Structure 1
Amino acid sequence: MKKRIMILIITVFAILVGLFIYRNTLSSEINKLQLDNYFTALEKNNGFMGSVAVFKKGELLYSKTVGFSDFEKKMKADKHTKYRIGSTTKTFTAVLTLKAVEEGKLSLDDKLNIYFPNIVNAKDIKIIHLLNHRSGIYSITSEPDFLNWRTKPKTREEILAIIKSGKSQFLPNSKAYYSNSNYILLTYILEDIYKKSYNDILKDKITKPLQLRNTYLDDKINTQDKESKSYRFIADWEAELESDISIPLGAGGMVSNPIDLAKFIKALFKGEILNPKTVKKITTFQETVGLGLFETVINGKVAYEHPGTIDGFRANYIYIPENDIIYTLMTNGLNFKEKDIQKTVLDAVYGKPIEIPEFEPTYEVTSKNLDTYLGVYTTSEIQHFKITINKKGTILTAQGTMQELFSTMAIDKHKFRIGAIGVKIEFKPNENIMIWEQNGKTIIFRRE
Structure 2
Amino acid sequence: MSHITEQINAYLEPLAQDQKFSGSILASVHGEIVYSNAFGKANIELAVDNTTKTKFRIASLTKAFTGVCILQLVERGQLHLEDPLSKYYPNYPNGDHITIHHLLTHTSGIANYTDDPHMLEWAVHSSTPEKIIERFSQKELDFSPGEQYKYSNSGYILLGAILEQITEQSYEQYLHEQIFEPLGMKDSRLDRPDYILDLRAAGYHFSEEGTLLNAPFFNSTNAYSAGAIISTVEDLHIWDQALYTEQLLGKSSIDQMFTPVKGEQDYHYGYGWVIQETPYGKLVSHIGGIPGFASILLRFIDSGVCVHMLSNIAQDVSEIGKKIAEIIQESPVKNIG
TM above 0.5, yes or no, is yes
TM-score, structure 2 as length reference: 0.91
- Tell me which residue corresponds to 1:349: 328
Q: Is the contact made by 1:49 and 1:334 (CA closer than 8 Å) also made in structure 2?
A: no
CA separation in 1, counterparts of 2:173 and 2:197?
23
The counterpart of 1:277, out of the listed 252, 260, 274, is 252
The counterpart of 1:315, out of the listed 282, 287, 295, is 295
Q: Is the contact made by 1:48 and 1:334 (CA closer than 8 Å) also made in structure 2?
A: no
Q: Is the contact made by 2:290 and 2:314 (CA closer than 8 Å) also made in structure 1?
A: no
Give 1:128-277 correspondences, 5 Å limit: 128-220=101-193, 225-234=198-207, 235-277=210-252
CA separation in 2, counterparts of 1:35 and 1:91?
27
The counterpart of 2:6, out of the listed 17, 27, 33, is 33
Query: Aligned partner of 2:153: which letter?
Result: N
CA separation in 2, counterparts of 1:156 and 1:351?
45
Structure 2 SS opposite 1:314: strand
Deviation at 1:78, TM superposition (A): 1.1
CA separation in 2, counterparts of 1:30 and 1:268?
28
Rate the CA distance shift 1:298–1:248 in 2: closer, same or farther, 3 A.
same
The counterpart of 2:275, out of the listed 266, 272, 295, is 295
The answer on 1:339 being equivalent to 2:318 is: yes
- Tell me which residue corresponds to 1:48: 21
TM-score, structure 1 as length reference: 0.69
Give 1:328-407 correspondences, 5 Å limit: 328-333=308-313, 338-351=317-330
The answer on 1:304 being equivalent to 2:284 is: yes
Q: Is the contact made by 1:308 and 1:316 (CA closer than 8 Å) also made in structure 2?
A: yes
Query: Aligned partner of 1:51: which letter?
Result: S
Query: Aligned partner of 2:167: which letter?
Result: Y
Structure 2 SS opposite 1:130: helix
CA separation in 2, counterparts of 1:334 and 1:61?
26
Q: Which has the higher contact order (CA 8 A, sep 6+)?
A: 2
Q: Is the contact made by 1:30 and 1:349 (CA closer than 8 Å) also made in structure 2?
A: no
CA separation in 2, counterparts of 1:249 and 1:224?
18
Query: Aligned partner of 1:63: which letter?
Result: S
Q: Is the contact made by 1:69 and 1:223 (CA closer than 8 Å) also made in structure 2?
A: no
Identity across aligned pairs (percent)? 29
CA separation in 2, counterparts of 1:135 and 1:264?
28
CA separation in 2, counterparts of 1:340 and 1:238?
23
Structure 2 SS opposite 1:232: strand
CA separation in 1, counterparts of 2:64 and 2:25?
19
Deviation at 1:352, TM superposition (A): 5.8
CA separation in 2, counterparts of 1:216 and 1:242?
19
CA separation in 1, counterparts of 2:282 and 2:258?
11
Query: Aligned partner of 1:338: which letter?
Result: V
Deviation at 1:255, TM superposition (A): 0.7
> How big is the alpha-carbon RMSD for the aligned residues of Structure 1 and Structure 2?
1.9
CA separation in 2, counterparts of 1:247 and 1:118?
23
Deviation at 1:154, TM superposition (A): 2.1
Give 1:400-415 correspondences, 5 Å limit: none
Rate the CA distance shift 1:30–1:215 in 2: closer, same or farther, 3 A.
farther
Deviation at 1:223, TM superposition (A): 7.4
Rate the CA distance shift 1:209–1:312 in 2: closer, same or farther, 3 A.
same
- Tell me which residue corresponds to 1:102: 75
CA separation in 2, counterparts of 1:273 and 1:30?
35
CA separation in 2, counterparts of 1:231 and 1:339?
17
Deviation at 1:222, TM superposition (A): 6.0
Deviation at 1:175, TM superposition (A): 1.3
CA separation in 1, counterparts of 2:280 and 2:128?
45
CA separation in 2, counterparts of 1:339 and 1:177?
20
Rate the CA distance shift 1:144–1:42 in 2: closer, same or farther, 3 A.
closer
Structure 2 SS opposite 1:40: helix
Deviations 1:100-143 (CA, angstroms, capped at 9, x unpaired): 11112111111110111222210111111111111111111122
Structure 2 SS opposite 1:262: helix
Deviation at 1:162, TM superposition (A): 1.4
Which contiguous aligned blocks of 4+ residues in structure 1 show a shift greater than 6 angstroms?
A: none
Aligned positions, number:
325
CA separation in 2, counterparts of 1:227 and 1:161?
31
Deviations 1:227-252 (CA, angstroms, capped at 9, x unpaired): 11111134543110232122110100
Deviations 1:383-440 (CA, angstroms, capped at 9, x unpaired): xxxxxxxxxxxxxxxxxxxxxxxxxxxxxxxxxxxxxxxxxxxxxxxxxxxxxxxxxx
